[in-house]
């Protein structure tokens, strides 16, 4: 895959946290993963919006309620 060199200004705390969570040391790899996640998230959002406009089997999704994930026991500290 062809690559392009970029210059970016990012929040150093957020970058450090991303490196910590992923175990990735390369800023390029962190950015690659972040872009992949962003693309996936946007495609999912587009899919949900399309489904809400053109429901299948008579079901209509009005919106996605992200609160369903609020009480899940996320393991962010690796414990």
Q: How does pLDDT run across 29-60, given as a tens digit for each residue?
A: 999 999 999 999 999 888 888 777 766 666 66
**What is d(CA 74, CA 79) in angstroms, rounded to the nearest whole number?**
10
Tell whether the model's pLDDT for residue 70 goes beyond 90: no
Q: Rounded to two decimals, what is the model's pTM?
A: 0.60
pLDDT of residue 8: 93
CA 57 to chain CA centroid, Å, is 29
């Amino acid at each position: 895959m062809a690559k392009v060199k970029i210059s970016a200004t990012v929040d150093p705390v957020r970058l450090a946290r991303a490196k910590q969570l992923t175990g990735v040391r390369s800023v390029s790899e962190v950015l690659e993963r972040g872009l992949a996640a962003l693309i996936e998230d946007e495609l999912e959002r587009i899919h949900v919006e399309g489904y809400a406009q053109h429901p299948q089997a008579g079901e209509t999704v009005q919106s996605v309620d992200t609160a369903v994930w609020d009480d899940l026991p996320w393991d962010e500290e690796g414990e």
